[in-house]
Structure formats: structure tokens, C-alpha cells
Amino acid sequence: MKIKIKKTLLNQGDEAKSQEVMALLEEIETGIGLVDWPKGTGQFSIYPEKMSNGVTPIKTACMTHLREQGWTLEQRQRVGNEKVPGPIDAVKSLRSGRIFAVEWETGNISSSHRALNKMALGMRSGEIAAAVLIVPTRELYKFLTDRVGNYEELAPYFSVWEHPHVNGLLMVIAIEHDREDSTVQRIPKGTDGRSKKRKKKAKKKARK
């Protein structure tokens, strides 16, 4: 998997620019580079058919790498006044006690907005020091589960999350396949949110 775009929305304060944070950012980028399909090939090849590939399995290699580097996966992190804290894909504590948060988008564009909102709120309330949202480019998006959040659709709203008076590092990383290949298997569906909803609807119809 390759990194196509790295967009910095916020980079304020000494901690955001520290060697500690930069080292963790490097761990994230290394993890992205480890994502391949088919597994074991060392490159990410996508079956080039519209909306024919699943989303969630793509992030597995990156999350495995982060866990091996000491990150905690799927940690429920309270941000601001959240009553029910939702899980964050990967977090790692900094020496300051604040966290570095990583979200790999598998939901729709509304999910992408919520993720960035949570990250920005966490910086304002002091829980989060740095955060990265990983999303596909439009070129990759068109081959994935319909309506998954993507960089180009999110980009017009970036100014919403640019807070010059808040300390922290907030980035969006856009990822893209290395090549198109009609001989590889499609990435399995059924583990992303929209696929689950479709399955539930199908079961309800079957019962009627």
C-alpha cells in the first residue's frame, strides 16, 4: 500500500513537533507500507471492479504492526463529555500522559467527519496530543464498498478542523493501491458497517 497524500490540518505546540511524536508517526507510515493484497505479495493489488472489494480486512497488517510496537487496539477513549466512549482503532500513550490516536476509516463519509471531530475535540479537551485519520483516495475508493469515506470527499471541509489556538498534531493520510489486477481475488466483504446492515435487512426479509 502506498501513501498518496499527507495533509496536516494542525501542527501546534512543542509536543506535536517532538521526536516522540515523529517516531510514532513513522510507525504508522511503516504499518501502512506493510499492507499488501494478496497477503504475502509485498504489494497491494486491487481487483478493478466498482464496489467489489471489502474494506475492513485492508487495515489488518497495519494494526498488527502497531500492536507489535506497543499500541493498544480498539481502546475505548473518553473524549470531552462523551457519555459512552467509542473505541479508537489504535492508541499509544505519550510521556505527557496524553495519547496518539489512529483511525483507519472503514465507514462512510459521515464516519470520517465524526472521527476528525472526536480527534479535534480530544485536543481541545487535553486527552489527545496527536491523531491521524487514514482514508482511501478516490482512485481506491471506487473499487471498495460503496460510500466508504475518501480523501477527496472530505477535503472541502478541512478548514473546519484547523484550529490555530489548539496544541496538537492532526493529520489525514490518503492511501492508494499499488496496482490494478483482474487476476487477484476480491477483498472479502461482510465485516464493514454497511455490509452488516445489509445482512440484517436480508435476514429480516427472510423471516417475513
- The full DSSP string for 174-201 is EEE-SEE-TTSPPPP-SSSHHHHHHHHH
Q: pLDDT tens digit string along 116-149?
A: 999 998 999 889 999 999 999 999 999 998 788 9
For residues 169 and 13, give the distance between their C-alpha atoms in angstroms, rounded to a whole number. Answer: 8
Expressed as residue numbers, the domain containing 106 is 2-207
Query: What pTM value is reported for the model?
Result: 0.88
> How many structural domains does the chain have?
1
Q: Which residues are catalytic?
A: 105
Q: Is the pLDDT of residue 208 over 90?
A: no
Instruction: Give the model's pLDDT for residue 163.
Output: 79
Instruction: Give the model's pLDDT for residue 190.
Output: 62
Kindly state the average pLDDT of the residues 85-102: 93
CATH of the domain at 17: 3.40.91.20
Q: pLDDT tens digit string along 8-66?
A: 999 999 999 999 999 999 999 999 999 999 999 999 999 999 999 999 899 999 999 99
| Cell numbers standing for residue 207 | 423471516
CA-wise closest residue to 6 among 26, 20, 21, 36? 26
Name residues whose C-beta falls within 8 Å of residue 55's C-beta, 6 or more positions apart in sequence: 106, 144, 145, 148, 187, 191, 192
**Rounded mean pLDDT of the chain?**
89
